[in-house]
Amino acid sequence: MYISLGPLLYHFMTPDQKRKKQARTLRLFRKAHRLTGAFLFVFFFFISISGIMLGLKKHVNHSLLPKTETGTSSELSEWLPLEELHKKAVITLHERVSPHASAELDKIDVRKDKGIAKFVFAEGNWGIQLDGATGEVLNVGRRHSDFLEDLHDGSVLDDLLGTSNEQIKVTYTTVTGLALLLFTITGFWLWYGPKRMKRNR
């Protein structure tokens, strides 16, 4: 059975020995804090900026995310078939954006309470809002917030490099998450450590 003697030995240290030990610990935490910050500066910069913009996406006059329009009916029984709405969205994409735009869908966002369906296309993050009951085109706009989300979690690199299973996103979020945890721990100790040393004088 293994028993750590560290806490017991610390109890019998002189005040001067305790201060020296705390000073060494403080230097170690300061070094870890500084090196982590220097190494991951660029990642933290993009995370913070994209996070702020995502938090404001619905409050900047719809420049990042098009306004969600309102259709004529919230009763799904009165809606056109989803397949028909999809065809209408693709036609609209080719007519209003580009005849060569890819019709690959990223997602379909059905807003029953609003009476609309949003068709979001993978290329260019174009979103097309259709009235679910009539098929009328209510909005055609670029969803810049979707790009910001990809930038925020690192999946933009998976898209650029064509990785198969979001390996970059998983690595990116794991490394930055652990670094933020390390920042929190070392930052707390850099604040608390000097106070503790003063008490041991």
Residues 6+ apart with CB under 8 A from 125: 106, 142, 143, 144, 146, 147
- Say whether both 70 and 131 belong to one domain: yes
Domain assignment present for residue 111? The answer is yes
- Say whether both 91 and 106 belong to one domain: yes
Whether pLDDT at 38 is above 80:
no
Whether pLDDT at 75 is above 90:
yes
Whole-structure pTM value: 0.67
Q: How far apart are CA 192 and CA 198, in angstroms?
A: 10
Closest CA to 153 of 132, 172, 131, 178: 172
Whether pLDDT at 103 is above 50:
yes
Closest CA to 93 of 122, 72, 51: 122
Closest CA to 53 of 43, 63, 44: 63
- How many Cβ atoms sit within 10 Å of the Cβ of residue 167? 12
- Say whether both 87 and 154 belong to one domain: no
- Say whether both 149 and 136 belong to one domain: no
Domain assignment present for residue 13? The answer is no
Q: How far apart are CA 135 and CA 83, in angstroms?
A: 11
115-148 tens-digit pLDDT? 999 999 999 999 999 999 999 999 999 999 988 8
44-53 tens-digit pLDDT? 888 889 889 8
Q: Find the domain containing 70 and state its range.
A: 66-142
